[in-house]
Amino acid sequence: MKRILIATSNPGKLRDFSGAALAYGIEVASLPNFSSLPVVIEDGLTFEDNARKKAEQYSRYAPGEIVLADDSGLEVDGLGGAPGVHSARYAADAPHLVENNTDDHANNARLIREIRNVPPEKRTGRFVCVIAAARDGQTLAVFRGAAEGVILDAPRGSNGFGYDPIFYFPPIQKAFAELKAEEKAQYSHRGAAFREFLRWRQP
């Protein structure tokens, strides 16, 4: 198990997975020719729904191989769990109706606007990641990771992607965007889910 195929072309996700895999001497690679494959519409109601759908469909393009796909996002308590499964499209007028992701800066800006009227004690939330492992169109197992934190009212740091600049992680008193990939993997939702996968794959 020297290489793991990930069904994504998102450079941020690939950095996260690579950071988590480094300590195990494992190489993480995007599914070959991923950009030319038909896009899977992420219309599930939960992170697991979307992760399973992507893993099952994309694993058909790598016969016999285990392919991982994840769906992840941010749940803010003071916003009733939003943006949730719509995290990557949150800046859109109707996130549940669009298929394309919106810009990270725009998503962050919308979230900062929305928490201005939320009391500080309710600005808690969590990053959630669900990874599905599939082979030949069948899900083999599902893994979940979460990281509890606080939403900031201004960005910090220049690393990471998505909501990392406004996600403050109290145990280390830093935003995720202030961490390098290897360090972030120790604390992040994606790192936690990936380690669960590794434990399952290498009992």
- The pLDDT tens digits for 86-118 are 999 999 887 776 777 899 999 999 999 999 989
* pTM strictly above 0.75: yes
- Per-residue pLDDT, averaged over 1-9, amounts to 88
Options 3.30.930.10, 3.90.950.10, 3.20.20.220, 3.40.50.2000; CATH for 3-201 is 3.90.950.10
Residue 185 has pLDDT above 80, yes or no: yes
Which one of 71, 103, 136, 164 is the catalytic residue?
A: 71
Residue 172 has pLDDT above 90, yes or no: yes
Residue 34: exposure state from Cβ atoms within 10 A (0-12, 13-18, ≥19): middle
Q: Is the pLDDT of residue 23 over 90?
A: no
pLDDT digits (tens, 9 = 90+) for 39-80: 999 999 999 999 999 999 999 999 999 999 999 999 999 999
**What pairing do the DSSP bridges indicate for beta strands 27-30 and 3-6?**
parallel
Task: Please state, in angstroms and rounded to a whole number, the distance separating the CA atoms of residues 110 and 45.
Answer: 22
Instruction: Provide the angle, in degrees to the nearest 10, between the axes of the packed helices 11-22 and 189-201.
Output: 50
% pLDDT > 70, the chain: 99
Catalytic status, residue 71: yes
What is the structure's pLDDT at 203? 58
Rounded Cα gap, residues 34 and 184, in angstroms = 26
For residues 7 and 58, the answer to whether their CB atoms sit within 8 Å is: yes
The identity of residue 151, as a single letter, is I
Mean per-residue pLDDT over the chain, rounded: 93
